[in-house]
Structure 1
Amino acid sequence: MVRTRFAPSPTGYLHIGGARTALFSWAYARRHGGSFVLRIEDTDRERSTAASTQAILEGMAWLGLNYDEGPFYQMQRLARYREVADHLLKTGWAYPCYASREELEALRENQRARGEKPRYDGRWRDSKALPPAGIAPVIRFKTPVEGSVTFHDLIKGPITVANSELDDLVLLRADGIPTYNFGVVVDDLDMQITHIIRGDDHVNNTPRQIHLIQALGASLPQFAHLPMILGQDGERLSKRHGAVNVLQYQEDGFLPEALLNYLARLGWSHGDAEIFSQKDLVSWFDLAHVNRSPARFNPEKLLWLNQHYLKESSDTRLATQLRIDLTLSDAQWAMGPLPEQVVALLKGRLSHVTELAEAARYFYTDPAPTPDILAHPPEGAIRDALQACLSAFQTAAWTPESLGPLIKQTAQAHGLKMGPLGMPLRAILCGTSHTPSLDVTLHLIGRDAVTRRLQHFLSLMN
């Protein structure tokens, strides 16, 4: 059975790159009826935080990337790493190394001075020297010195690395904490991971991990390394490009389905499909159509998708969000239209969910007329037309079908077109010059609120 995993380090938030890796791993498992495992690689004790772990879990939950097993924490598995390291020592695949930090730094400095690649020289690999007193050893792996490692990457194709390029990596530090390459191998084998989908910054780690897996007598998983994500300028994605906390997108008013749809198309495609559901993604997803070249993050494309999903969102769902964001008294809600009606009218005009509350406010509270109309109040025919509207509104049938013609006829009776009358009506009644169709807007605001606001404004002009 296919088993994939997402294994973030809790040294920061869940960002766009990590979210895409999680999505592809999740989608591959779902596509093949397998399991998706979440593992928290928290062995960096100086930088790992509980807050980062919580941010990762909340980001996954908001995106709807539900995992079947986990979260597992590496710091709760230290005894297991020690057990595997002892096994490798007994079988001759590992050895204790007593080189001090100062000794190793001097080694690297000398190598750099000679123009060589800094690397451990294997001084304790086959040493018969007595261990020095007072130094706790690290455990190193005996990397084969001849030959090469070849593996078939499901995205990049065949990759070969000469063993001479590899040194004897540390498995366990002196304090018993595993290094990344050792911990990940033990975890992936114990958790029976069949497909490792991760960023291509891990390609260079793969030969080392393959040696470890083979030394442990286990079968190799499949590897798939995702090309990195770049900003529109071709530079590595950073905060200035939008590589922020996934939860920041939630705060900024993006819908999770919009972000998921965008992330899925960020380096993967299914024909010409641009908009698709999570269900479609699961039925279509494969690794053969992941691009080998880096993807470029396009904020405008993400915004376009968010606008689409806002239009497609149910009125009930957005009305619930409106009630949360627009904190009003029970009386204010009762005096206004049903939130579902307001949402249906406004959602096609929005780019972000966070715009909804402000856009809907004038349906429930009397807004201040716009500064421009207060500074330059209507005069002459426009003022007379507003007064005529006030009189007509008090007795008119309160439907969009009646209000539209009424306003148009009033404008014509005073020698005006719709624009010169409609603009001040919006500014007075809604506190903005940008609203949906005026007849529907006034209908939802309600007769009492419309006549009260218009009467109040005209009284100020006297």
Structure 2
Amino acid sequence: MSEQQVVTRIAPSPTGYMHIGTARTALFNWLYARGRGGKFLLRIEDTDRERSTPEATEAILRGMEWLGLDYDGEAVSQFARVDRHAEVAHALLAAGKAYKCFASQDEIQAFREAARAEGKSTLYRSPWRDADPASHPDAPYVVRIKAPLDGETVIRDQVQGDVTIRNSELDDMILLRSDGTPTYMLAVVVDDHDMGVTHVIRGDDHLNNAARQMLIYAGMGWPLPVYAHIPLIFGPDGKKLSKRHGATGVAEYQQMGYPAAGMRNYLARLGWSHGDDEFFTDAQAMEWFDLPGIGRSPARFDFKKLENLCGQHIAAGDDAALLHELEAFIAATGENALTGEQRDGMSRGMYCLKERAKTFPELLEKAHFILTKRPIDRDEKADKALDSVSRGILSELTPQLQNASWDRESLEGLVAAVAEAHDTKLGKLAGPLRAALAGRAVSPSVFDMMLVLGRDETIARLTDIGA
């Protein structure tokens, strides 16, 4: 018998922006499925009609696209499946695994208050659990599952280990509300089963839900998925990651200019490890990722580590792919798109721009010499570098560039010779040259700039400072 195909899913609620924790959960599910030739599915848990918005759904889809987490088939709407959820509740009812409860909210509240006063468990036990159907009134009711009253439920978790819960702590949870709509707890199980999900990899804030959801699987005679409940992400201060730690939505990280490959690498390392490996490709992550490699303690978000990895991914990135992602970043921040001329310059210059840039804004800052137009607008540092002595030396260099061979070795030799003739070092001339070509104190090497700009533009910019 062939092994069952792995099927994982991510099931965010469209009630706000896509949280970075949701993105990490999506990544873990994606890596696990893709590394095993399985399927990765997306379900939008939009049953909360009050809070679900089309904008939030769109933000989820955009976040997944930016992160490069491709899913199989169409995104599934949970709300569109309410009839199927109700059908399962009625099947449990017919099989005697669930019951109709006619207790009012007031009665339940009174029960809880009395139990609290007597120091007893406030877990509600419905008097309708074993009532004869002949005694049922013609009144609204909820459908509750019949939880076992004694014994234990064991969640065999791939991250947390075996987690044992006493059945006396499980309530007869509601499956259908009195208006006939299904609860989240029911919908999740039915959808996971119908979508063929084999592995439920989700945040450990759902761990207690697993024991209650297992009652539905058991009641329907369905096979259980493999559970893996992963720890939450904490901020640098050791508290749950929230708005006060700065960016928490996926879109914000794109707008801050982090490359998606660096983000994937960093999020994979957030709570999961493979030996001492820090920097790795998607292919390596897919090959290595496994559930036992996930730690049980909450991971701490560290912007320095994120930037470090992003810098490595930019440096190692394919030039054309980087330019494509850079243009998507520019569009996401609402800046003006690159002109054809700027794009060509960026293509030529990417080899020297991507070294030591940790984010796209840093890369664009280095690319200022390509993106700017003559006459060059110089910053204060660049202006200081262009004193009268430097201008004099550069004015001697300029005509000699006219007939120089336009390669790094020839240009370095020529500039070194001019510097030597003025009894100065090549490094001393680099500052004024940089100021003339870029108008900035920070830029790629002057020879890279000359090669990217080409002979005519280089000479034109040097001529401008003498004018």
Relative to the length of structure 2, the TM-score reads 0.88
2:73 and 2:357 map into 1 onto residues whose CA distance is 38
1:377 and 1:277 map into 2 onto residues whose CA distance is 42
Aligned equivalent of 1:369: 378
Residue identity in the other structure for 1:296:
R
Cα displacement (A) at 1:21: 1.5
Aligned equivalent of 1:349: 356
1:216 aligns with 2:220: yes
Does structure 1 retain, via aligned residues, the 8 Å contact 2:379–2:440?
yes
Aligned equivalent of 2:14: 10
Specify whether residues 301 and 160 from structure 1 end up closer, same or farther in structure 2 by C-alpha distance, changes over 3 A only: same
Aligned equivalent of 2:308: 304
Structure 1 residues 15-34: aligned runs within 5 Å: 15-34=19-38
Specify whether residues 372 and 195 from structure 1 end up closer, same or farther in structure 2 by C-alpha distance, changes over 3 A only: closer
Aligned equivalent of 1:403: 411
Specify whether residues 114 and 420 from structure 1 end up closer, same or farther in structure 2 by C-alpha distance, changes over 3 A only: farther
Q: Secondary structure at the match of 2:393?
A: helix
Specify whether residues 147 and 353 from structure 1 end up closer, same or farther in structure 2 by C-alpha distance, changes over 3 A only: same
Structure 2 gap segments, 5+ residues each:
331-335
2:344 and 2:267 map into 1 onto residues whose CA distance is 37
Specify whether residues 314 and 267 from structure 1 end up closer, same or farther in structure 2 by C-alpha distance, changes over 3 A only: same
Q: Secondary structure at the match of 2:23?
A: helix
Between the two proteins, the alignment pairs up a number of residues equal to 454
Cα displacement (A) at 1:94: 2.0
Relative to the length of structure 1, the TM-score reads 0.89
1:249 and 1:68 map into 2 onto residues whose CA distance is 25
Structure 1 residues 287-366: aligned runs within 5 Å: 287-321=291-325, 325=330, 327-330=337-340, 332-333=341-342, 338-364=345-371, 365-366=373-374
Aligned equivalent of 1:148: 152
- Give RMSD over aligned pairs: 2.7
Deviations 1:148-207 (A, max 9, x none): 212311111111111111222111122332222111111122223222111111111111
Q: Secondary structure at the match of 2:171?
A: coil
Q: Secondary structure at the match of 1:140?
A: strand
Aligned equivalent of 1:384: 392
Aligned equivalent of 1:457: 465
Q: Secondary structure at the match of 2:163?
A: strand
Does structure 2 retain, via aligned residues, the 8 Å contact 1:337–1:445?
no
Does structure 1 retain, via aligned residues, the 8 Å contact 2:437–2:449?
no
Specify whether residues 117 and 308 from structure 1 end up closer, same or farther in structure 2 by C-alpha distance, changes over 3 A only: farther
Cα displacement (A) at 1:371: 3.0
Per mean C-alpha deviation after superposition, the further-off stretch among 400-409 and 181-190 is 400-409
Structure 1 gap segments, 5+ residues each:
none
Per mean C-alpha deviation after superposition, the further-off stretch among 183-192 and 103-112 is 103-112
Aligned equivalent of 2:333: none
Specify whether residues 194 and 372 from structure 1 end up closer, same or farther in structure 2 by C-alpha distance, changes over 3 A only: closer
Q: Secondary structure at the match of 2:41?
A: strand
Deviations 1:338-358 (A, max 9, x none): 532210111113111243334
Deviations 1:81-107 (A, max 9, x none): 111111222222222333344544455
Taking only the aligned residue pairs, the percentage that are identical comes to: 45
1:78 and 1:4 map into 2 onto residues whose CA distance is 21
2:271 and 2:398 map into 1 onto residues whose CA distance is 58
1:72 aligns with 2:72: no
1:373 and 1:3 map into 2 onto residues whose CA distance is 58
1:66 and 1:378 map into 2 onto residues whose CA distance is 52
Specify whether residues 329 and 75 from structure 1 end up closer, same or farther in structure 2 by C-alpha distance, changes over 3 A only: closer
Q: Secondary structure at the match of 2:348?
A: helix
Residue identity in the other structure for 2:362:
E
Specify whether residues 392 and 195 from structure 1 end up closer, same or farther in structure 2 by C-alpha distance, changes over 3 A only: same
Does structure 1 retain, via aligned residues, the 8 Å contact 2:366–2:444?
no
Cα displacement (A) at 1:372: 4.3
